[in-house]
Chain A
Amino acid sequence: MANALKESIIKAVHVTEKDAKVYYFKAPNFTYGFLMPVSLFLAFSIAGQINSALIVSGLTSLVILFGTTSIEAVAVVLEKQTGTFERLLVAPVSFFTILFGKALAGFFFGLVLATVILVPLAVVSGTTIANPILVLFAIGFSSLAFSALGALVSAYAKWVPEAQMLSNFLRFPMAFLSGTFVPLELMPSQLGIIARFLPLTYSVEALRISINGSAPITTYLLDILILALFSFALLFAATKVLQRRLE
């Protein structure tokens, strides 16, 4: 059992390495991850009064969300389209392992994107990071959860534009409902309830707590736990959807 699990993890890592080689080092993947969230954020930060911690946490979460879901669409759907996905299907690797490997690649991609946006943003806005280690963990778990979300959408979609369109249906409402631009406490109570069902809410909250260092650590830990649960549940759902689509 332990050996089988170890073998599955090793194979997932090989899928991750392959995805990094084949899909990740292409300029459009980086630019799309940045452009959309930055444009959205600039529009809102100019119009409203957003404090620096909110800017840094919100924008970083959005960059991870847009970046990872976009790259998953490429790495999963494109592979299905071109037939190379068959190479994975005929190999002795479970669907879950394949998708975990792909989400793991998205996880590393999210880490890189978040670091690239967070460091200069904190310097420019004069934001002091209270706990960099907690920030890193928040980024990591956010990346995994959003990559799993991207994997779920991509498991369903047949074409890259379809995956991007479906992702947008999820990304844009999430961007407005998860306390990214407006703190949850200022939102109408019904919207606040909806926000609690969205992974982006916990990503923004965990990042904000670790940047500010103000809220209790238990809230942060709960956010991380929920992000981990989202990751597992979304990957599990993606596996089931993929199985169905390939039948």
Chain B
Amino acid sequence: MKVAVKAQGLTKQYRDILAVDHIGLEVFEGEIFGLLGPNGAGKTTTIRMLTGQTKPTSGTAVVADHDIIRESIKAKERVGVVPEVSNIYDEMSAWDNLIFAAQLYSVPKIEREKRAKELLELFGLYERRKDRVVGFSRGMKRRVTIAAALIHKPKMLFLDEPTTGLDVQSSRMIRNLIKELNDSGVTIFLTTHYIEEADQLCQRVAIINQGRIVVVDNPEKLKAAMEERHVIEISFSPSRDLNDKLRGLSCVNNVSRLGDKFRLYVDDASEVIPSLIDFARKNSLKIISINTLKPSLEDAFVRLTGLSPEVMATEKEPIKKREE
């Protein structure tokens, strides 16, 4: 399989902060590759280095057969980039934004308009093409940003947190779009802090934490590696914070809370279930439901990084956009 991205020892140091620490990864042509990690793990910095927006402090990377430092312009010609925050011009129409993007990528004049029309139709925005982007919803802006990144028909698309801050419907639409693009042969490199998103979309994921790649594998293989570990999901009435008490039970390795349910990571479910019944009785709790679960990618993530799923659910501070 041909390699689309190859990074070796890629490092970024911002004064006394080591944002990315000697990472190495390979992305193959035609795959959807996800860089999964909590906010501040180094995902955006990695994507910024790979797309030529910032120079690595050390290390090398080749993107679309071109070195990102020595042949940065050539590498940029072959990829499309969708940043976390839509970077289209609010003062311009959707149409003008796409035409300007095409001009930057030297798309021939006749081709420009044809391609802009095709993309706006594909993204369901053709009817709004003449409207200034300032009046668009977040999801619509994201669609225009993706369309602008595709205007020169790149073989590879980088997406930084493509669904962050979007409503459920827009997120689903973007995910379907990513799948469709991949089906049409576009290699996808995305970053996300949504474990489910990585599980649904990616053929391979790299888990990154504190600037280091913890593991790179298929989501299913990561889950399979967890199968010797058991997960019990239990809910009690009355519902209250029992994390510490549950963690104190023997054979329970870790506990996380999801709404009114608790997930217990244990070595042997059959040993723990009687203890849980005893625990409920002693604490005057009623067990509402109890299930043993197949390990999820989230479980693998928790085990590999030692982080709780709650950390992953933490959203970034909203980036302040200019006020008109």
A87 to chain B, nearest CB (A): 5
Give every chain B residue within 8 A of A21 (Cβ-Cβ): 91-92, 96
> Given A82-B322, A89-B53, are A11 and B103 also a contact pair (CB < 8 Å)?
yes
Query: Which of B81-89, B198-206, B274-282, B297-305 sits within the interface?
Result: B81-89
How many A residues are at the interface, by size bracket? 20 to 34
Tell me which of A14, A78, A82, A246 contacts B100 (CB under 8 A). Answer: A14
In the complex, A93 has a CB within 8 A of chain B: yes
Give every chain B residue within 8 A of A18 (Cβ-Cβ): 89, 92, 100
A11–B148 Cα gap in the complex (Å)?
A: 16
A122 to chain B, nearest CB (A): 35
Top 9 A-B residue pairs of the complex, sorted by shortest distance between their CB atoms: A91-B104, A14-B103, A90-B81, A92-B76, A92-B77, A82-B322, A92-B73, A22-B91, A86-B87
Tell me which of A14, A22, A90 contacts B89 (CB under 8 A). Answer: A22
B 129-150 binary contact with A (CB < 8 Å = 1; else 0): 0000000000000000000100
**Of B83, B87, B148, B319, which is in contact with the most chain A CB atoms at under 10 Å from its CB?**
B87
Grouping DSSP codes into helix (H, G, I), strand (E, B) and loop, the B interface class, with mixed when no group exceeds half, is loop
Interface residues in B86-118 by Cβ distance below 8 A to A read: 86-92, 96, 100-101, 103-106
Give every chain B residue within 8 A of A11 (Cβ-Cβ): 103-104, 106
Give every chain B residue within 8 A of A84 (Cβ-Cβ): 87-89
**Of A10, A83, A91, which is in contact with the most chain B CB atoms at under 10 Å from its CB?**
A91
A6–B77 Cα gap in the complex (Å)?
A: 17
Give every chain A residue within 8 A of B101 (Cβ-Cβ): 87, 91
List residues of A whose CB falls within 8 A of some B CB.
7, 10-11, 14, 18, 21-22, 78, 81-94, 246-247
> Given A21-B91, A82-B322, are A93 and B104 also a contact pair (CB < 8 Å)?
yes
Q: Would B322 and A88 count as touching, CB distance under 8 A?
A: no
Total chain B interface residues with beta-carbon distance under 8 A: 30
B 204-222 binary contact with A (CB < 8 Å = 1; else 0): 0000000000000000000
In the complex, B52 has a CB within 8 A of chain A: yes
Give every chain A residue within 8 A of B77 (Cβ-Cβ): 92
Tell me which of B74, B83, B322 contacts A86 (CB under 8 A). Answer: B83
A188–B91 Cα gap in the complex (Å)?
A: 50
What are some 8 contacts across the A-B interface (CB < 8 A)?
Answer: A14-B103, A18-B89, A83-B85, A87-B88, A89-B52, A90-B51, A92-B76, A246-B54
Give every chain A residue within 8 A of B70 (Cβ-Cβ): none
Give every chain A residue within 8 A of B88 (Cβ-Cβ): 84, 87
A18–B103 Cα gap in the complex (Å)?
A: 10
In the complex, B55 has a CB within 8 A of chain A: yes
Q: Would B85 and A7 count as touching, CB distance under 8 A?
A: no
Interface residues in B48-91 by Cβ distance below 8 A to A read: 51-55, 73-74, 76-77, 81, 83, 85-91
Smallest Cβ-Cβ distance to A18: which chain B residue? B100
In the complex, B240 has a CB within 8 A of chain A: no
